[in-house]
A and B are shown apart, each in its own frame.
Chain A
Amino acid sequence: MTIKEIEDQIVEEFSVFEDWMDKYQYIIDLGKAMPVIAEEKKKDENLIKGCQSRVWLDCRQEEGKLYFTADSDAIITKGIISLLIRVYDGHTPQEIIDSEIDFIDKIGLRQNLSPTRANGLVSMLKQIKLYALAFKEKEEQKSAAKYSVEEIQKNVIRALKQVFDPEIPVNVYDLGLIYEVKVGEDGSVFIKMTMTSPTCPMAEDVVNDVNNAVSDAPGVNGVQIELTFEPEWDESRMSDEAKLELGLM
């Protein structure tokens, strides 16, 4: 069922109750029936800020879909979360982000909550969407790992061309400082590089710049850099572009 369809189902269920005491009884029963959350999930980072009663919300992903568990020291609050979980459980992060739920207004819940509890409800909804956003970001990072080794190799070289030697206005790649770039299937990158001179005082900065630039390149998952002075660097290692740039050609 879609989020919309589940919402409609809840609205229909609530329509059979005539007064609010009955609706509350139903919400309380939902709260009581909720599966108990593991004690270790009741940690501070799962605590929702902005609720007067304490509410813990945890989220996990299975086969691209999100599933929530929650608990609260207030049973009405717990019943309300169980409704939210019923609506959102088993949907993808994108579906949850795109959803605009209105069953809370349709069953009159928002109007029948005290202002402090209505604020708490807003905080719960916000937290659910934040979880969805976080999982979506994770997914995007994962799909990034689907670059081929060749593509990653290209991306790494592009990144290396953005790193400049502090004393010579040529990037480290064209300068011939990079002896080896090895890309693994998992996106791990190994770089063997040198400096123009073993006494280069900026060596550490250059290695750091290389590390940062390559780490940020699309598809890269971890960088290892080995600094070597065997064989020693000389001008013949520069690319033609570099030689042109420096007026050596």
Chain B
Amino acid sequence: MHFAQQGNYMERTREDIISEVRAMVPALSLRMNGQPLVYLDNAATTQKPSQVLDFLNDALKERNANVHRSMYELSDLSTTAYENAREKVRSFINAPARENVIFTSGTTASINLVAACFCQRFVGKGDVILIEGDSHHSNIVPWQIAAERAGAEVQVIPTDVMLGEGRSGKVAVERLAELLTDKVKILAITQISNITGLLNPVGEIISLAHSRGIPVLVDGAQGIVHSPVDVQAMDCDFYAFSAHKIYGATGVGVLYGKKDLLEALPPYMGGGDMVETVTYQKTTYAQLPLKFEAGTPNFIGAASLLPALEFAEYLREGEVGQALKEEEARIKAFMEQTLCSDPEVEVYGTPMGDKAPIYTFNIKGINAGDLAQLLDKMGVAVRSGLMCAEPLLNSFGATSALRASFAPYNTLEEAQKFVKCLERARKMLA
């Protein structure tokens, strides 16, 4: 892709490469409260590269027409851009075909779609929907709603903290075998926790569930950013993610599903574009993927997944990928030596092992909101509150916390500034 053609990597240092990457993302040069912005709320949303921003602008100027509807050239251009993005998503997650890739409004919408349609078709009274103890609210609440409608029950694979067996925050996968009873109709798991950053052994969980004939949905909202995803190798039945967390536009998400399952599901929302023929007596539905794309989709936002995923690949591959990987390792080592080894700080979830650079923590006796407020004044943007994972955070005994989440474009220097500013805020508040 065109990113890969820029410059000659052989002559550049890691610092050069990082500066070049950062220069592609205009928001990283912003100043907030008079200070250079240190943006560490990437688990909430990522900043966009110029390629995505220009693409969105050009699309509105040059390709704005409704998709899949009309015979004129402008509409063809729009439809082509939309379908090119679908193809890009397909190759990015290695889905077998375009019909496996459904555009939604985000991870939450993708999970709601599966929860509503799957449970309507396959879940009945007395059945069980199994979810994970480290779930984001978006992978809890849709199942609760669907379970209530079906007369089913939601059960949880606990973490070691919930079992009182440890403080790592890891999901107790060893309990899975006993929890996967005949009553379980679907399992909804998380690839990477938005609180602990821990990578779940998704492959192991899926193969165990499949050995009992139970399909698995994977919430990839964080996973898509921090690890390469191959849905066929993973063998998940559904995979959900949001565009805005991987450098794309807001209000766009993806649902990957296996073809036979997607075909077996009843339609979700009714409306335009999801139908084949409509009479007042009976409607036949469109083929996949349009069956699940009722109404005018966010075709401009969805199309921006093409440059967004190209940017993600650019950050992962070749010498750029190597440089950023090294920087991330340096950031993780630094965070482990500073924040994670401070006896007054509790970082939720072990910092060891497979972990994305997401750090959710509390400093003893200091309110997380106070820290976030002072950090803001020093130009550091972090999240405070419950991070939409109240059960998990509560299991650690916290009612609110602070979260610093890094993206591949963040630097060790930013991590150092964050820790330094945190120290200053802490001294002020202590």
Interfacial residues, chain A to chain B (CB-CB below 8 A): 19-21, 24-25, 28, 52-53, 73-77, 112-114, 116-117
Taking a contact as CB atoms under 8 Å apart, the answer to whether B428 and A24 are in contact is yes
Taking a contact as CB atoms under 8 Å apart, the answer to whether A74 and B367 are in contact is yes
Q: Which 5 A-B pairs have the closest CB atoms?
A: A74-B367, A76-B370, A74-B370, A20-B377, A74-B369
Q: Chain A residue with minimal CB distance to B368?
A: A74
Q: Please indicate the chain B residues that have their CB under 8 angstroms from the CB of A117 in the complex.
A: 369, 373
Q: Chain A residue with minimal CB distance to B378?
A: A21
Shortest distance in angstroms between A104's beta carbon and chain B's nearest beta carbon?
15
Shortest distance in angstroms between A70's beta carbon and chain B's nearest beta carbon?
15
- Chain A interface, DSSP helix/strand/loop, else mixed: helix
Q: A52-B385, A75-B429 are in contact. Are A24 and B374 (CB under 8 A)?
A: yes
Q: What are 9 A-B pairs at a CB distance below 8 A? A: A20-B33, A24-B374, A24-B428, A28-B429, A53-B400, A74-B370, A76-B367, A77-B369, A114-B372
Q: Chain B residue with minimal CB distance to A76?
A: B370
Beyond A52-B385, A53-B369, A112-B377, list 17 extra A-B contacts (CB 8 Å). A19-B34, A20-B33, A20-B377, A24-B374, A28-B370, A28-B428, A52-B369, A53-B400, A73-B367, A74-B369, A75-B367, A76-B369, A76-B370, A76-B429, A77-B369, A114-B372, A117-B369
Shortest distance in angstroms between B378's beta carbon and chain A's nearest beta carbon?
7
CA gap between A21 and B35 in the complex, in Å: 12
Chain B residues within 8 Å of chain A by Cβ, number: 16
**Among A28, A74, A112, A114: residue with most chain B CB under 10 A:** A74
Whether B376 sits at the interface, judged by CB under 8 Å, is: yes
| Of A19, A75, A116, the contact of B370 (CB 8 Å cutoff) | A75
CA gap between A74 and B374 in the complex, in Å: 12
Interfacial residues, chain B to chain A (CB-CB below 8 A): 33-34, 366-367, 369-370, 372-374, 376-378, 385, 400, 428-429
Taking a contact as CB atoms under 8 Å apart, the answer to whether A24 and B377 are in contact is yes
Q: Please indicate the chain B residues that have their CB under 8 angstroms from the CB of A24 in the complex.
A: 373-374, 377, 428
CA gap between A28 and B369 in the complex, in Å: 13
Q: Chain B residue with minimal CB distance to A120?
A: B369
Shortest distance in angstroms between A149's beta carbon and chain B's nearest beta carbon?
57
Q: Please indicate the chain B residues that have their CB under 8 angstroms from the CB of A21 in the complex.
A: 374, 377-378, 428
Taking a contact as CB atoms under 8 Å apart, the answer to whether A114 and B373 are in contact is yes
CA gap between A117 and B378 in the complex, in Å: 18
**Among A19, A76, A116: residue with most chain B CB under 10 A:** A76
Q: Please indicate the chain A residues that have their CB under 8 angstroms from the CB of B428 in the complex.
A: 21, 24-25, 28
Q: Please indicate the chain A residues that have their CB under 8 angstroms from the CB of B33 in the complex.
A: 20
CA gap between A55 and B377 in the complex, in Å: 23
Q: Please indicate the chain B residues that have their CB under 8 angstroms from the CB of A74 in the complex.
A: 367, 369-370
CA gap between A20 and B376 in the complex, in Å: 11
Shortest distance in angstroms between A205's beta carbon and chain B's nearest beta carbon?
47
CA gap between A156 and B33 in the complex, in Å: 67
CA gap between A24 and B378 in the complex, in Å: 12
Shortest distance in angstroms between B371's beta carbon and chain A's nearest beta carbon?
10
CA gap between A20 and B35 in the complex, in Å: 12
Q: Please indicate the chain B residues that have their CB under 8 angstroms from the CB of A53 in the complex.
A: 367, 369, 400
CA gap between A112 and B191 in the complex, in Å: 37
Q: Please indicate the chain B residues that have their CB under 8 angstroms from the CB of A73 in the complex.
A: 367
Q: Chain B residue with minimal CB distance to A52?
A: B369
Q: Please indicate the chain B residues that have their CB under 8 angstroms from the CB of A75 in the complex.
A: 366-367, 370, 429
CA gap between A107 and B267 in the complex, in Å: 56
Q: Please indicate the chain A residues that have their CB under 8 angstroms from the CB of B429 in the complex.
A: 28, 75-76
Q: Please indicate the chain A residues that have their CB under 8 angstroms from the CB of B367 in the complex.
A: 53, 73-77
Shortest distance in angstroms between A90's beta carbon and chain B's nearest beta carbon?
29
Q: Please indicate the chain B residues that have their CB under 8 angstroms from the CB of A28 in the complex.
A: 370, 428-429
